[in-house]
A and B are shown apart, each in its own frame.
Chain A
Amino acid sequence: MRSEETERLLGGYATGSLTESERRVLFEAALEDQQVFDALQDEEALRDLLADGESRTAVERALRLPVPEKLGARWFARPWVWGWAVGLAASCVLAIVLLRPEKREIASVSIPPMAPNASLQSAPEESIASKQRPRAKKQKANVPQPGVVAADRAPEPTEQIVASPAAPMAMSLRSSTTLPLAFVVVAPSDVIQAGDAIRIRVRPDAAGVMSLLQRGAAGTWTLLEPAVDVLAGQEYTIPRLPFIVTSESNFRLMLVPTGGLPRFAVFTVTPGKAAPSQ
C-alpha cells in the first residue's frame, strides 16, 4: 500500500525535485511495494517527456500563460451583480417564509383522570376548540379514500374538535392536516376541511396499550390502528395511515395502562366552513 510519504515523493520524481535522500526513500519503497513501483513506472512517462527539450519548453511556456479568468469570477467582480444576487436571495428567502406551511396546533387536551369503570360509559361531548380560518383551496369532486394521504381538499369547512370531559387520561392531543407532501401541526383555531388527512399526536400519561377507534354509521366502533404499546410521556402519532375527514366523525382513543383498567377519550372532528378568503 502506498504510504502518504511515498505519495508525496512521487510528485517530485518526474520533475527532478527530490533530494538524494528522498529519491532513495522512494526507490526503496518501490522495490518493496509493487504499487509504488507501478506508480513510479507510470511517472516515467512524464519524466521522459520533461527530459525532452522541446516538450519541456512547451510546458514551461504553457505554465507562463495567464490563468484564464473564470466566467463566474468575472461576473461577480461587478458590484451590480452582487446587488442583483443579494436581491434575488432576499426574494427567495421571503418567498420561502411566506409560502411554507405554518405549524398549527388544533387542540391540546388535558383531561383529569376518573374512575375506570365510569370511563367506559359514553359521556356528553363538549367542544373544546372551534374557530374558523380563511383558506384558499382547490375543490375536488372525488374524495380521497380513507387511509390515503389527501393532497387535495374540499374548500372552506369549519373544524370542531370535541372531547369528552369525563375521559380518564391526561393527554395532549393534536390533529394534523396534510399538505401534499407533509403533515403540519395545526392550531386549535384552525379549520379542518373535508378531504383533509388527519393524524393525531398523543402523549399518554401512563405506559400501556393504546388504540384508536372510529365510530361507524351503525354506531359500531372500528379499530383504526392496531393497539400499540406505549410509554408514559412519549409522543405517538396515530394512526400510521391518516384518516380522511369527509363528514363529522367520532373517535375514541383508548389507553389500557399496564396493570390498570381501560381509560379513554372521545372526540369529534367536524369539517366546517371557513371564513371568506382574504
Chain B
Amino acid sequence: MTSEELLRKLRERIVGFAASRMQRDSAEDLAQETLIVLHQKYPDLDRIEDLLPLALQIVRFKIMAAKRKAVRRGEYTQEAVDDLPLAESGASPLASAERKQMRERLTAAIAKLGERCRRMFALKLEGRNFGEIQEILGAASINTVYAWDFRCRKQLLDRMGGTWEGPR
C-alpha cells in the first residue's frame, strides 16, 4: 500500500468515526487537521504501524478538545493545528479530572473481577503477549487464552457501563 493510499484510507476512517460523534462538516475538518498534523510533524512516517496509532491519538485529543470548547463556550471553533496537545505534560485540569474519573471507574471495576481475569490483565500490563500468557497460565491452547481475555474484557467493560470513557 502506497503512502498516498494509506492516508486516503486513514482519512476515510477518521471521517467515518468522527461523523458518529459530531456533525459531518466538523468530522471532515477533523480528519483534514489530523492528516495535516501527521504531514507536518511526522513527515518521515509512512508505515501503517506508525501512522495509525498516531492518528488514533490525535483524533482522540481533537474530539476531547472540541467537546470541551463546545461545553465551555458553546463554540465549535476549529482547533489550531499547533495547539494540539500531544505531550501529556500539558494536560488541562479538565483532562486530568476526566482521566482521574476514568481511573477510579476502572479500578473499581477491576476490584470486582475474578482471580483469572486479574492475572490476565496484570500479565498484559507487564507486556506479555498472548503466547507467553498461555504458557504462564498453563492454558491448553492459545485460543483458550483469547477466549479468557475476551470474557474478562467484556466483564470489565460491562462493569464500566459499556465504554472505557463512560457514558458519552
Binding site for B on A (CB under 8 A): 7-8, 11-12, 15-20, 22-24, 27-28, 30-32, 34, 37-38, 40-46, 48-52, 54-56, 58-65, 67-68
**Contact yes or no, A63 B110, CB < 8 A:** yes
**Contact yes or no, A18 B125, CB < 8 A:** no
Give the shortest distance, in Å, between B24 (CB) and chain A (any CB).
15
Q: Which residues of B37-67 have CB atoms within 8 Å of chain A's CB atoms?
A: 48-49, 52-53, 56-57, 59-60
Residues of A within 8 A of B107 (CB): 58-59, 61-62
**Contact yes or no, A11 B153, CB < 8 A:** yes
Residues of A within 8 A of B127 (CB): 15-17
Give the shortest distance, in Å, between A278 (CB) and chain B (any CB).
55
Give the shortest distance, in Å, between A31 (CB) and chain B (any CB).
5
Say whether B35 faces chain A, with CB atoms less than 8 Å apart: no
Picked from A15, A40, A68, the residue with its CB within 8 Å of the CB of B121 is A15
Picked from B102, B114, B130, B150, the residue with its CB within 8 Å of the CB of A49 is B102
**Contact yes or no, A12 B129, CB < 8 A:** yes
Interface CB pairs A-B, < 8 A, 17:
A11-B124, A15-B124, A17-B124, A17-B128, A24-B48, A31-B9, A32-B9, A34-B13, A34-B16, A38-B16, A42-B165, A44-B59, A46-B164, A52-B103, A59-B121, A63-B121, A67-B115
Residues of A within 8 A of B122 (CB): 60, 63-64
Picked from B6, B49, B125, the residue with its CB within 8 Å of the CB of A56 is B125
**Contact yes or no, B110 A31, CB < 8 A:** no
Say whether B20 faces chain A, with CB atoms less than 8 Å apart: yes
**Contact yes or no, B103 A8, CB < 8 A:** no
Picked from A7, A20, A60, A68, the residue with its CB within 8 Å of the CB of B125 is A60
Residues of A within 8 A of B129 (CB): 12, 17-19, 22
Instruction: Determine the main DSSP class of B at the interface with A.
Output: helix
Q: Give per-residue flags for B1-31: 1 if the beta carbon is below 8 A from chain A beta carbons, else 0.
A: 0000010011001001100100000000000
Residues of B within 8 A of A58 (CB): 103, 107
* Total interface residues in chain B, CB < 8 Å: 45
Say whether B163 faces chain A, with CB atoms less than 8 Å apart: yes
CA distance A273 to B59 in the complex (A): 87
CA distance A42 to B17 in the complex (A): 10
Residues of A within 8 A of B110 (CB): 59, 62-63
CA distance A40 to B107 in the complex (A): 21
CA distance A65 to B165 in the complex (A): 23
Q: What is the chain B residue whose CB lies nearest that of A70?
A: B114
Residues of A within 8 A of B6 (CB): 31
Residues of A within 8 A of B121 (CB): 15, 59, 63
6 more A-B contacts (CB under 8 A) besides A17-B128, A31-B48?
A8-B150, A11-B150, A16-B124, A18-B129, A31-B13, A55-B106
Say whether B111 faces chain A, with CB atoms less than 8 Å apart: yes
**Contact yes or no, B99 A52, CB < 8 A:** yes
**Contact yes or no, A31 B10, CB < 8 A:** yes
Residues of A within 8 A of B153 (CB): 11
**Contact yes or no, B164 A42, CB < 8 A:** yes
**Contact yes or no, A68 B111, CB < 8 A:** yes
Residues of B within 8 A of A62 (CB): 106-107, 110-111
CA distance A11 to B124 in the complex (A): 9
Residues of B within 8 A of A56 (CB): 125
**Contact yes or no, B20 A55, CB < 8 A:** no
CA distance A30 to B13 in the complex (A): 8
Residues of A within 8 A of B49 (CB): 20, 23-24, 27
Q: What is the chain A residue whose CB lies nearest that of B110?
A: A62
Residues of B within 8 A of A59 (CB): 103, 106-107, 110, 121, 125
**Contact yes or no, B164 A27, CB < 8 A:** no
Contacts A17-B130, A37-B13, A44-B57 given; does A51 touch B163 at CB 8 Å: no
Residues of A within 8 A of B79 (CB): none
Most chain B beta carbons < 10 A, residue from A30, A48, A54: A48
Contacts A12-B124, A22-B129, A28-B48 given; does A65 touch B59 at CB 8 Å: no
CA distance A110 to B110 in the complex (A): 72
Residues of A within 8 A of B125 (CB): 15, 50, 56, 59-60, 63
Q: What is the chain A residue whose CB lies nearest that of B166?
A: A45
